[in-house]
Structure 1
Amino acid sequence: MGVIKIKNIRVYAYHGCLVEEGKIGSDYRVDLTIKANLSKSAISDNLADTVDYVHLNRIVKEEMAIRSKLLEEVANRILLRVLNEIPLVKKVDVAVSKLNPPIGGNVAMVTIEMSKKRPI
C-alpha cells in the first residue's frame, strides 16, 4: 500500500449558507490523501499503473465549482468521485478549508475532514 498526498489545492468558490457568500465567494484550500497499491507503478514507471494526481486535482476543482451550503456536502462529492473514477484508490481522505470565514472573529480557517474506503 502507498500514499499520495496533494496539499493546499487553492480554489476560489461560492460555498456557504449566507446569500453574500454565494455572490462574493471566498478562498478555499483542499488537501487529499489517497491510499492505493503503488507497487505496480513503482516497477513499471507507467502513469497508467498509478493514481494520476492531475485527475485528482481536476475532480477537486470541478466539485468546488458547484455551489453548496455546507463544506461537508462538497467533501462528500469529492470522496465519491475519487472512488468512482479511480479504481486503484482504496481509501481517500479530504480536508476542505474555508480561509478567513465570515464568522465574526479573526479566524484563519475552518476545516472539515472526511474519509471513505472502497467497499471490500
Structure 2
Amino acid sequence: MGVIRIHNLRFHTFNGVLPEERRNGQQLAIDVFLDYPIETRVHDDELSTTISYADVRDVIDRFVHEHSYKLIESLANELLKALLNQFPAERVTLKIRKYSVPMPGIFDDVEIEVSGGQNG
C-alpha cells in the first residue's frame, strides 16, 4: 500500500479551551498520511489517478479556518471525517501539534494522532 504524506502544514487557528486561546489564536502543525494504492492505481502520469497534494492542503486549510473547537481532539476527528469524505484514501492518519499550550513545564508542543479508514 502506498502512502502520500504531507508534513508540517502550519496554520494560525483559534482553537482552545481558554478564552485567550480562542481570542488570540495559536499555531497548529498538521501531518497527514493518506494510504492509497499507488502501485495499482497509478499506471500513467495523470493527476487524476492519484490524490492531489494541493487539494488535500486546500481542504485542510479551509477546514481549520472555518471551524473552531475547544479540543484539538475534536478538530482532528472532524477533519479526519472531512478528508475521508473528500478523497479516495483507504485510510487517513492525522497528527496535530499545538504550540504555546498554556500549562507549566518545558516542552515543544502537544501532539495528538487519529486514524480512520473507509470501513471504520
TM-score (norm 1): 0.92
Deviation, 1:76, is 1.0
User: What does 1:63-82 align with in structure 2 at a 5 Å threshold?
Assistant: 63-65=63-65, 66-82=67-83
Matched, 1:34 2:34: yes
Equivalent pairs counted in the alignment come to 118
Deviation, 1:105, is 2.5
In structure 1, what is the Cα distance between the partners aligned to 2:76 and 2:82? 10
2:97 aligned partner:
97
User: What does 1:4-83 align with in structure 2 at a 5 Å threshold?
Assistant: 4-38=4-38, 39-41=40-42, 43-65=43-65, 66-83=67-84
- 1:40-99, CA deviations, whole angstroms, 9 ceiling, x for partnerless residues? 32x21110110111111112112222110001111111111111111x200000011101
Deviation, 1:104, is 2.3
- The list of structure 1 runs, each at least 4 consecutive aligned residues, that deviate by more than 4 angstroms after superposition, is none
Which residue identity lines up with residue 84 of structure 2 in the other structure?
Answer: L
| Structure 1, unaligned runs of 5 or more | none
| Structure 2, unaligned runs of 5 or more | none
In structure 1, what is the Cα distance between the partners aligned to 2:73 and 2:54? 23
SS in 1 for 2:23: helix
TM-score (norm 2): 0.92
In structure 2, what is the Cα distance between the partners aligned to 1:16 and 1:99? 11
